[in-house]
Chains A and B, each alone.
Chain A
Amino acid sequence: MFEQWSLFVLAFMGFVFLGFLIYLLGNRKSRKEEMKYETYTCGEPFPKVSMGTENFYHVIKRALGIRDLRSYHSGRLSDYLMWIVIGTVIIILLMVVWV
């Protein structure tokens, strides 16, 4: 199954190197754009900012309705117990019907 593995790993490393090379070349160009932008904002230095983890993938969360999925995980013990009982009934029914 893994006869070609070393070859694959080498090829992958090659692709990573190629990607790194493209990144370096692309970075040169973006630095120039950054310079232009600095001039446009009268040379004021940009403050360093970091994004809060709540805002990560915000659009994906909204688009896929993950917030609704999260709201079911209410932290209430009675809900968890109900899910377990429902899950057990489903498993038993499927085993009785399917096998």
Chain B
Amino acid sequence: MITYVLLVLFAATFLVLIIKRDEIAIAAILFSFFSMCYMFLNPEITVFGFGGWSPPFGIVWVLDKLSVFLALLVTGVSSVIAVYSLKYIKERRHRYYTLLSLITIGLLGVSLTGDIFNLYVFFEILSVSSYALVAFFLDEGAIEGAFKYLMVGSVTSLFILIGISMLYGLTGTLNFADLASKISHSNPYMIALGLLVAGFSLKATIIPFHAWKPDAIEGTPAPIGAIFTSISTAIGVYGILRILFIFNLIQLNWVLISFGVITMLVGAFLALVQVNVKRMLAYSGISQIGYIIMVIGFGTLLGITSGLYHILNNALIKTLLFMGIGIGIYLTGKENLDEIGMKSTPLLICVGIGLLSLSGIPPLNGFVSKWLIFMASWEISPILTAIAIIASAITLAYSFKIFSSMFLTTKRIEVKIPKILFIPVVILTILCVLIGVFPQIGLNIIEPAANALLNQNQYITAVLGG
């Protein structure tokens, strides 16, 4: 079935340009989302082989709870962005929807593939469509951001390709499960895996691989900024998780914790001093990834659960904020915090809920995952909990800065919000409140994914059999 989902998305990519109907891309992305919802209900690990070739020789799709969780998140966020962009993007919309379908294919392919070279192919589809989307507005800032992203992205793609080549040379296989059974912890393997981790760290925007992100997001349309700070970073983290857990490298826990703490604090401090709202949200996204990397480094069930829960919440909150604040950018044509003041009570409520949730204020979804993060870090070291609380306080400080600049300033303009821009924002706001009040909803999705990650033998057995 997954092959058909990707085929529908590929077909939509070309049909949008030929027939010039954007609705085709929206329908294809929504179809992929509902297909992923259906696949999530399947309790077993499902393995699909390409062209009748059985693993490890043929390319396979592996749908375990972790990969389907990521696919669900990718298609869900892409769906709301596809609807929102119908109004937000004013010109060259067919090209935009072609690129949006391509980026969804890339993200979906990376999360579901069971073959490391196939992963690289989808990673490149994701990267190339990302570069084009960053440059979409074709102004000076967009071109500069896209060029920087293209250069650093090409270097890390090369690292990934060299890493894959080394692994293939050493083991003679490209299948993840087969690699896991053949790999050892000797130096050549570690160099190859190190290159792969570095490559995925760029997408995850872990410090010092983060610097491209604010420059790229500043030039990109606001809904694409949402993709970069939510699901694109989630896919980077997923790549690191797959490598660390399937190849049993969780001894690296203090390395991950150190990178996580630095990313969390530096991201938060830099968000505090930004004047451009999109740059501020970009640094905020970097800071939130720091939390996720830190708790994943703990290697405990609670740590993994809280990390995956924060991936879910960060995706919802960042999409809500980029789209909510994007309405301000759309209506005022400005991105500077001093210039986006507006009078709109419904938008004030939605963006306010998003900002409070980002800061981890109860009873919203951001609090649930941050509470779990504090509990997980308390088990390892209370110092880490204290650092996480400090980063959370800084988050509240810059969230207030955004709220104050948008809704409390004296320089506010009267606005009328288009319904098609506002409906996706309302849906995400409701989800943030709903998951906050009933956290079990999120936990029912996260717990199977966390268990799947910790039980890699199940994955290997499902792919290779017996």
Residue ranges of A at the interface with B (Cβ–Cβ < 8 Å): 1-2, 5, 8-9, 12-13, 48-50, 52-54, 56-57, 60-61, 64, 66-67, 69-70, 73, 75, 77, 79-81, 83-88, 91-92, 94-96, 98-99
Contact = CB atoms under 8 A, between A and B. Distances in A.
30 contacts: A2-B439, A5-B439, A12-B362, A50-B408, A52-B338, A53-B401, A56-B401, A56-B404, A60-B397, A64-B269, A66-B270, A66-B272, A69-B270, A73-B270, A77-B148, A80-B148, A80-B152, A81-B155, A83-B208, A84-B156, A84-B198, A84-B202, A88-B159, A92-B190, A92-B198, A94-B255, A95-B252, A95-B255, A99-B251, A99-B252
Given A2-B440, A53-B405, A84-B208, 20 more contacts: A9-B362, A12-B362, A13-B363, A53-B401, A56-B401, A57-B272, A57-B273, A60-B397, A66-B269, A67-B273, A70-B270, A73-B211, A75-B215, A80-B212, A81-B151, A81-B155, A88-B194, A91-B197, A94-B252, A98-B251
Contacts of A52: 338
Contacts of B148: 77, 80
B193 interface: yes
A32 to B, nearest CB: 23
Contact of A87 (B151, B191, B201, B212): B201
Nearest to B188: A96
A95 B272 contact: no
Interface of B: 147-148, 151-152, 155-156, 159, 185, 187, 190-191, 193-195, 197-198, 201-202, 208-209, 211-212, 214-215, 249, 251-252, 255, 266, 269-270, 272-273, 275, 336-338, 341, 362-363, 372, 397, 401, 404-405, 408-411, 437-440, 443
A53 B84 CA distance: 28
B241 to A, nearest CB: 15
Residues of A contacting B: mostly: helix
Nearest to A88: B198
A88 B195 contact: yes
B255 A98 contact: yes
Nearest first, the 6 closest Cβ-Cβ pairs linking A and B are A92-B194, A83-B208, A88-B198, A53-B337, A50-B409, A9-B363
B190 A53 contact: no
B205 to A, nearest CB: 12
B106 to A, nearest CB: 21
Contact of B190 (A54, A77, A84, A99): A99
